């Protein structure tokens, strides 16, 4: 049997610059587009969740390597966002950004000390996230509307670029809205860091390392931010908590199965690293030395009896982490009751805290573990 091969030649003059796609069995379509002022051809493949360009040609203009990487990502995949009818109405940008109330960025200086303390101890922590981090339902609607509108603008420009080609102006517009979306996404994540810690504390067990729980919870938090539909009227914590707990459930099942297949790898003596404890001990030693220097220089304004109580109670005449005298023992030295020693001690500690915070505000969250009441 003789095979017949048919060759079809298309002239560039007869190719329309408009993309026309047909639905194929593989849910994809292809079209050949002639670039304006160029003889090169661009193949565009479309699917329900991706836009990929067969050419790596970038628009002319000065772009940094990081910006070019982002633009190449826009050429490979669609930007996802939670749609809202208000995005397509006139004046949407002004209502969502200019007319919306300003939401202050959260202070996350408490996060690392709290994380280190929780990693070291299973009995809780004296450090607590500030209550000002919690957003109201109205504030959440504003900030999630801004996030998804910025992504909507990126997706809209992305679709236009897929049809008519990416120009320098469209690339700049996508980059600008992408930066806005990433800043808002980061702000939402930082605002809800305490949510991950609360869920991790709830499910903490000997089988799962606390650091792994935090990592898995943060990833689930980011996915929740991307998929949360603010238009339904629910608080983000309602959706985020369930997503984080579900991620922990999957992590537990995955870890259990892995241990069943590889039981030799899990030696209890080698399973957990001691890096967190070593880091925390080194930091506490440095902070204790700073407290000693403050005490010796008398910059906290302590009275003689307060200096005597602190000197004996915290063993400033002994090595770091050495045994300390009890309230009753210090009371016998001074000739007062142990309750009176406790009152003098608390007053002196408050003076030391204020002096340390005035010199180094970042120590405000770690002081309870450094100069709290000794055993």
The tens digit of pLDDT for each residue in 177-208 reads 999 999 999 999 999 999 998 898 888 666 78
Angle between helices 236-261 and 210-227 (to 10 degrees): 130
With 90 as the cut, is the pLDDT of residue 166 above it? Answer: no
For residues 165-176, average pLDDT: 93
pLDDT for res 26: 33
∠ CA 133-139-145, nearest 5°, is 125
127 touches 366 (CB < 8 A):
yes
| pTM strictly above 0.85 | no
pLDDT for res 373: 47
With 80 as the cut, is the pLDDT of residue 102 above it? Answer: yes
For residues 98-106, average pLDDT: 92
Share of the chain above pLDDT 90, in %: 36
CA dist 82 and 68 (Å) reads 26
For residues 104-128, average pLDDT: 69
pLDDT for res 45: 37
With 60 as the cut, is the pLDDT of residue 174 above it? Answer: yes
120 touches 280 (CB < 8 A):
yes
With 50 as the cut, is the pLDDT of residue 282 above it? Answer: yes
Domain architecture of the chain: domains with CATH = 196-270 (1.20.120.1810), 275-371 (1.10.10.10)
Share of the chain above pLDDT 70, in %: 68
């Amino acid at each position: 049997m003789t095979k017949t091969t048919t060759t079809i030649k298309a002239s560039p003059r007869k190719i329309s610059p408009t993309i026309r796609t047909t639905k194929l069995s593989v849910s994809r379509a292809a079209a050949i587009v002639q670039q304006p002022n160029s003889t090169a051809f661009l193949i565009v493949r479309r699917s329900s969740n991706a836009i990929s360009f067969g050419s790596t040609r970038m628009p002319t203009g000065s772009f940094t390597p990081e910006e070019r990487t982002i633009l190449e990502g826009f050429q490979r995949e669609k930007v996802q966002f939670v749609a809202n009818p208000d995005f397509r109405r006139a004046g949407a940008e002004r209502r969502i950004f200019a007319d919306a109330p300003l939401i202050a960025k959260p202070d996350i200086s408490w996060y690392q000390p709290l994380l280190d303390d929780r990693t070291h101890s299973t009995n809780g922590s004296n450090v607590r996230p500030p209550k000002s981090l919690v957003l109201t339902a109205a504030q959440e609607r504003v900030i999630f509307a801004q996030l998804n509108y910025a992504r909507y603008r990126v997706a809209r420009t992305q679709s236009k670029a897929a049809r008519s080609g990416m120009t320098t102006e469209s690339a700049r517009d996508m980059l600008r809205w992408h930066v806005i979306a990433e800043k808002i996404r980061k702000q939402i994540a930082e605002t809800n860091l305490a949510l991950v810690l609360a869920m991790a504390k709830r499910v903490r067990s000997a089988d799962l390392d606390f650091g792994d729980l935090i990592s898995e919870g943060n990833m689930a938090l980011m996915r929740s931010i991307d998929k949360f539909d603010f238009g339904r009227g629910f608080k983000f914590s309602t959706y985020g908590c369930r997503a984080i707990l579900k991620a922990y459930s999957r992590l537990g099942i995955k870890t259990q199965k892995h241990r069943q297949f590889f039981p030799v790898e899990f030696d209890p003596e080698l399973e957990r690293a001691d890096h967190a404890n070593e880091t925390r001990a080194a930091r506490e030693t440095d902070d204790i030395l700073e407290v000693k220097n403050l005490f010796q220089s008398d910059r906290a304004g302590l009275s003689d009896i307060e200096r005597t109580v602190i000197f004996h109670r915290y063993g400033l005449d002994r090595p770091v982490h050495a045994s300390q005298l009890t309230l009753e023992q210090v009371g016998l030295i001074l000739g007062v009751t142990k309750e009176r020693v406790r009152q003098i001690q608390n007053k002196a500690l408050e003076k030391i805290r204020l002096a340390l915070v005035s010199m180094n505000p970042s120590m405000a969250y770690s002081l309870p573990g450094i100069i709290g009441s000794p055993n």
